[in-house]
Amino acid sequence: MKRMLIPILALAAACRPEAKLDESQEYFVGRGVAAHAIASTKLHGKGSELEQYVTLVGHTVALESNRPEVFKGWSFGILESQDMNAFCAPSGFVFITTGLLRALQNEDELAGVLAHEVAHVCLRHPEIAAAAAAEKSGAMEFAQELSGLASFVGGIAGAAGKSDVAKYSQVAKDAAPAFGKALTELNNSLQAGYGRDEELAADVLGADFMSRPGVGYNPQALADFVGRLPKKPQGAYATHPGMEDRVQKLNEAIKKLGRKAATDPARTERFKKMTASLGQ
């Protein structure tokens, strides 16, 4: 895992922000972020009914999105935290905290939050953040050598000589501190969210995903939840758009979609049953 993550972050640093990693590169970056998040927090109820429920809702939205297939599939997890947060990593790793789950009122709001994160992945926002984190942490200086390391690791089953193994092992060892810093920087960046334009774009696309005919959730539920958030984001969320402006633009987008779906009481009861163990 570590040997793969180092060269892939180098490739992310070497790309321009609008450039795309290939799917396997994106996956290993995302897997690294997911491992970092799990190590620094605690997974809530791994394999529990609640995790299965969140995963089912997430897949319902993701499979009808603009990117139904990602390398090794979409992954949804719950983190034990009082903070109200949801975030995604490259290649479809999506997390939601217990604090945010407690703040939601129904399944449609849950679908809206997950659709927002799925939209970020479809818009390649985590991938762009990976490139920025690698560059900020000093990973750029290793990009050329580690691109070679990526090729080496990819073909490690081939007839690589012992001198090559020694050479690239030393490169990886020398670069490890920079890429450890890059991974921390990326994890922090993804959990804090994105800038104004990215958040608004994910709102609009998320409302679309959650209300598509194959899904059928009420897009207004996302606007309802956003409307209950603090009006002026602070701290790590200072880059987010103000909530009044955000709700207005989201409502305008929902109106343009022209999709009206009621919040099904049966889904709401299911949500309450599944989240009852969290308490208030």
pLDDT digits (tens, 9 = 90+) for 159-194: 444 455 455 444 444 444 444 555 555 556 555 667
Confidence band, pLDDT 50/70/90 cuts, at residue 155? very low
**This prediction's pTM:** 0.76
Of residues 145 and 27, more confidently modeled: 27
Question: DSSP assignment of 200-239, as one string?
Answer: HHHHHHHHHHHHSTTT---THHHHHHHHTS-SS--GGGTT
Beta strands, E only, the chain: 75-79, 86-89, 93-97
Helix axes 125-136, 23-40, angle to 10 degrees: 70
| pLDDT computed for residue 27 by the predictor | 83
What pLDDT score does 48 carry? Answer: 93
Cα 113 from Cα 223, distance rounded (Å): 10
**E strand or H helix at 160:** none
Q: What is the pLDDT of residue 32?
A: 76
Mean pLDDT of the chain: 76
Q: What is the pLDDT of residues 212-221, one digit of tens each?
A: 999 999 999 9
- Please indicate whether residue 233 or residue 25 has the higher confidence score (pLDDT): 25
Q: Identify the residue with better confidence: 65 or 35.
A: 65
75, 35 contact by CB (below 8 A): no
Predicted confidence (pLDDT) at residue 140 exceeds the cutoff of 90:
no
User: In terms of C-beta density within 10 A (0-12 exposed, 13-18 middle, 19 or more buried), how is residue 18 classed?
Assistant: exposed
151 pLDDT above the threshold of 80:
no
Residue 54 amino acid letter: V
Please give the residue that has the higher pLDDT: either 253 or 35.
Answer: 253
> Is 156 a residue whose pLDDT tops 60?
no
Q: What is the pLDDT of residue 147?
A: 41
Q: Is residue 209 over pLDDT 80?
A: yes
* pLDDT tens digits, 49-105: 999 999 999 999 999 999 999 999 999 999 999 989 999 988 899 999 999 999 999
For residues 245 and 241, which has the higher predicted lDDT (pLDDT)?
245
Do 125 and 89 touch, CB atoms closer than 8 A?
no
The stretch 15-21 carries a mean pLDDT of 50
> Of 16-20, 36-40, 273-277, which has the strongest mean pLDDT?
273-277
- Give 240's pLDDT tier (boundaries 50, 70, 90): low
Checking if the pLDDT of 138 tops 80, the result is no
Q: What residue type is 80 in one-letter code?
A: E
| Strand 86-89, strand 93-97: pairing | antiparallel
For the chain, percent of residues with pLDDT exceeding 90: 45
CB 178 within 8 A of CB 136: no
Give 75's strand partners: 93
